[in-house]
Amino acid sequence: MLVAVALLAVGAVILIAGAESAVRGTARLSIAAGISAFVLGALLFGIDLEGLSAALLAAARGQTQIAAGEALGTVIFLFGVALGLTLLVARGPIPSPSAMMVIAPAIPLAAAALAISDQVVTRVEGLLLVFLYGGYVFAVLSEGRAVRQRAAELEHEAQEVKGDVSRAAVLAAGGLLAVFGGAWLLVDGGIRLLDTTGLSAGFIGAAIVGTLAGLDEVLLMALPVMRGTPELATGNLFGTVAAFTSAVLGLAAVVHPLTLDAASELAFLGGAAMYALVAVVFLLWGRLPRPLGLILVAAYVAWLVYASTL
């Protein structure tokens, strides 16, 4: 088990660091090639490179329950830990984004529910989920603000790459290699943990691989709120929910048809319930109060405890 834990820890560090380098280098190269930051923001809106790479690699290695758990576990981690802790450290309530941004992720969530209802996501269903995510991004583009915020982030990351385009190319290539290596170590650690414990594959994917791959989401939520730009946090929140329940889950199924177990299904149900709670509070009161953070964290802990027994 010690080897498995070491692989998980090292893999997570390499994966997160590699993803940061890959995004910065790729953003610099793309903007230099004439691709606007707004287009980049639309293409990458809600897509977390760390989680995507871990899910795709797990699916490619035939560990489809880990892949599904990783994709769906990211959603419950995002609400239960990232948003819950952010509310607890925030100086005041978090204001709501536009109603369209709040409601739009319900469509990918509903489609994912239909796809996983028989505990299998086929390649055809995966393609349909990816297509649906394209429709979601188009809807977000009509609202515009969230994508412009993502574009501004990418422009800032591109400007942080000092030097010429060749340096950006090296940074992007090195980052992508690190992403592959980190994802490989992370998934391999999860597989070893599966072999040495009685934990289910879906739980390992959702609670361990998904959590480690998504650790940076805590900062991506908390820092904008503490710096007075909560719209960046809420845009990331709802964009990631839509992306992981459609694009990430769908792309993993295209690589290899997915099978789900009880733990990964419960992760989806928990994440969907947390989304519904947050969406209702936003729509009715226009803000999220601090006490809601305690409810979200407690709900995540309850899921974690119960899912570990499945």
pTM for the predicted model, two decimal places: 0.85
Where are the domains positioned within the chain? 2-307
Indicate the average pLDDT of the chain.
81
State phi, psi for 218 to the nearest 5 degrees: -60, -45
Task: Give the burial string for 211-224 (b: 16+ CB within 10 Å, else e).
Answer: bbbbbbbbebbbeb
pLDDT for 23: 65
Opening angle at CA 208, ends 207 and 213, nearest 5: 110
pLDDT for 281: 94
State phi, psi for 119 to the nearest 5 degrees: 65, 20
**pLDDT bucket at 251, cuts 50 / 70 / 90:** very high
The CATH architecture to which 2-307 belongs is Up-down Bundle (1.20)
* Contact indicator for 175, 281 with CB cutoff of 8 Å: no
Opening angle at CA 247, ends 9 and 131, nearest 5: 170
**pLDDT bucket at 154, cuts 50 / 70 / 90:** low
197 residue type, one letter: T
Distance, CA of 250 to chain centre: 13
Tens of pLDDT along 37-64?
A: 555 555 566 677 778 888 888 898 888 9
Across 1-5, 214-218, 281-285, which has the greatest mean pLDDT?
281-285
Tens of pLDDT along 264-304?
A: 899 999 999 999 999 999 999 989 998 999 999 999 999 99
User: Residues with Cβ < 8 Å from 65, sequence gap 6 or more?
Assistant: 200, 201, 202, 205, 258, 259, 260, 261, 264
Rounded Cα distance, 166 and 304, in Å: 45
Residues in the chain: 310
- CB neighbours of residue 76 within 10 Å: 29
Place of tokens 């953003």: 27
User: Residues with Cβ < 8 Å from 68, sequence gap 6 or more?
Assistant: 55, 116, 121, 202, 205, 249, 252, 258, 259, 260, 264
